[in-house]
Structure 1
Amino acid sequence: MTEHDRGGDYHRPDEDEGERLDRHWNELLQELRLAQTGTQILFAFLLTIAFQSRFQEADQFTHDVYAGTLVASALAVGLFLAPVSFHRMVFQQRLRDRLVPIANHLASAGLVFLIAAICGGVLLALDVVLSRTVALVIVALVLVWFVGFWYVLPAYVRRTSRGTGE
């Protein structure tokens, strides 16, 4: 029997609710490891920009974009780390049924702030090498690209799939 015949790897009729929650928690942790690392690197890089002499000479627009990007990055880091803290606080309290859906929402919110931080970082860099108008157009396209691949495509697949999905 192929994975397709079983309905993909999301539906496992042989697992109980506890096993399903454990599997979902482990899948979410794997995703968070990737997101946390990249976001923390971006955040650390952004922290160094403010101390560059050339940045001090930048205009108010650049400073505003930087501030928004830094805050979005910090919020993304916080949201990606929140499930870890949440788990520590409810560890051994038999609350996995509450932990998993809340952690999923925290991670999803973190992705929104990560998109904002990435777009802000791209705008900061492109504004140095291109005209501001061109930089803004490119960042708008980058935003559409992220929204398309991170939200529209999965929503489309979810809507058009006949799978059992969890």
Structure 2
Amino acid sequence: MTSTSRISGGPGRHETPEERADRRWNELLQELRVAQTGVQILFGFLLAVVFQPRFTELSDTDRTIYVVTVMLGSATVAALVAPVSYHRLLTGRRLKPQTVTWASRLTVLGLVLLLCTMCSALLLILRVALHNSLALWLVGCMALWFLVCWFVFPAWALARPSPEREK
């Protein structure tokens, strides 16, 4: 491989588009392993709730919250498992950079859906546990915390001047 076919843009990595796609794909797989495990455990617990004896005692509002939570959990699983399907169906078609881009977008969508699923599950649990409006405030605080940890901190890190990016 000649040096002219390599990407150069400063002191960082010097990799071809294919090497970059391979690296990004491997990084994405590691991230998905963490997210998928937690989502699948949460979803499994959600599916089991309906079979508990006390489920019949839930109010109509709490049952609605439960159904919304299960649907959000299903959508989350779909979005976070979709990159595997993308990769499997597109392997060997010389579309790795595009596959990585779409898989990354689906992963971000999956994280947004996971945030919604977590908040919905928390709302249901706290409504049943507390029987008062404090549940909504606690969920709001937790939603804000998720947003800060998952989206605000990374955005802040991107916005901060970095010696490596200034070169």
Q: Indicate the residue corresponding to 1:25 in structure 2.
A: 25
Q: Indicate the residue corresponding to 1:62 in structure 2.
A: 62
Q: What count of residue pairs does the alignment treat as equivalent?
A: 154
Deviation (angstroms), 1:50: 1.0
Runs of 4+ in 1 over 4 A off after TM superposition: none
Q: Closer, same or farther in 2 for the Cα pair 1:86/1:79, shift >3 Å?
A: same
* Structure whose CA Rg is larger: 2
Deviation (angstroms), 1:161: 3.3
Q: Percent identity?
A: 41
Q: Indicate the residue corresponding to 1:96 in structure 2.
A: 96
Calculate the TM-score normalised by the size of structure 2: 0.88
For the aligned residue pairs, the C-alpha RMSD in angstroms reads 1.3
**Letter matched to residue 115 of structure 1:** L
Unaligned runs of 5+ in 1: 1-10
* Larger RCO, structures 1/2 (Cα 8 Å, 6+ apart): 1
Higher mean alpha-carbon deviation, 123-132 vs 23-32, is at: 123-132
Q: Indicate the residue corresponding to 2:133 in structure 1.
A: 133
Unaligned runs of 5+ in 2: 1-10
CA–CA separation in structure 2 for the residues paired with 1:161 and 1:61:
48
Match of 1:26, SS? Answer: helix
Match of 2:125, SS? Answer: helix
Deviation (angstroms), 1:81: 0.5
CA–CA separation in structure 2 for the residues paired with 1:40 and 1:12:
37
In the TM superposition, what are the counterparts of 1:100-139 in structure 2 within 5 Å?
A: 100-139=100-139
Q: Indicate the residue corresponding to 1:7 in structure 2.
A: none
CA–CA separation in structure 1 for the residues paired with 2:131 and 2:54:
18
